[in-house]
Amino acid sequence: MPEMKITLLACTPEPDFVCAQAAGISTGTKINVENYAKLLKKVLGYGHSSIIEHASFTFLVEGISRACSHQLVRHRIASYTQESQRYVAYDKISCTEPDSIIRNEEAKRVYDDFMKECEETYLVLQKMGIKPEDARYVLPNAAHTKIMITMNGRELLHFFGLRLCTRAQWEIREMAGKMLEEARKAAPVIFEKADAQCASLGYCPEREGCGRFPKKQENERKGL
């Protein structure tokens, strides 16, 4: 099974400095190479995250399932271009295998048999003259896909806040973690504190928490 691969294809040149310039315009501060990081951290610390909308980041994501990509595109303030199963004809179908299935010998046998059957049916349909756009109806949610994503810095931070949560589905959480690794290389100040949203809120907003932070109601009872 091909490993998930995340590539930061492009981003706004010097994204930290560009966003610091926006902060400087807002605050009337002259920006230079010595003070931009300090000001950017200060303004972001106030919660004024609109300034990081001036930086954009474009990723190529490979080796994720179609199921994962369906979760991804729920994030609306972004641009997506996905490999089309209508136009791309496959000679082999690679699929994501959840660890819960891999660890269960019998479940893995059932899973692998079904994926093989899907692949064989897809290939047979094409040999019968069925176009890929119709043969694709037999492909599973586990089938791998490629997708290009462009988000601005603010939406990317929001994405990380939701998808780095331990209650996020495991595949998109892994994807978010790898995207953050690449984003931090390009913009270490913007993404310095990027984390699950509980880290910035100080409490868990989920219905069932992981225990990292108390529930909001628990904080209120303690007067926090």
pLDDT tens per residue, range 82-100:
999 999 999 999 999 999 9
C-alpha neighbours within 13 Å on the C-beta side of residue 130: 15
Query: Mean pLDDT for the chain?
Result: 94
d(CA 219, CA 116): 51
| CATH class for the region spanning 5-82+143-196 | alpha beta
d(CA 29, CA 27): 5
Instruction: Tokens for 90, please give them.
Output: 């496959």
pLDDT band at 77 (very low <50, low <70, confident <90, very high): very high
pLDDT tens digit string along 105-123? Answer: 999 999 999 999 999 999 9
pLDDT band at 206 (very low <50, low <70, confident <90, very high): confident
pLDDT on residue 217:
63
| Cβ–Cβ under 8 Å, residues 62 and 81 | no
Amino acid identity at 132: P
Model pTM above 0.85: yes
DSSP letter string, 49-98: GGGGGG-EEEEEEEEEEHHHHHHHTT--SSEEEE--TTTPPPSS--B---
Average pLDDT on 125-144 reads 98
**Where do the domains of the chain lie?**
5-82+143-196, 99-138
Residues designated as active site: 163
| Cβ–Cβ under 8 Å, residues 39 and 20 | yes
Alpha-carbon separation of residue 49 from 110, 164, 192 (angstroms): 48, 19, 13
d(CA 56, CA 199): 24
Q: Is 30 exposed, middle or buried (0-12, 13-18, 19+ CB in 10 A)?
A: exposed
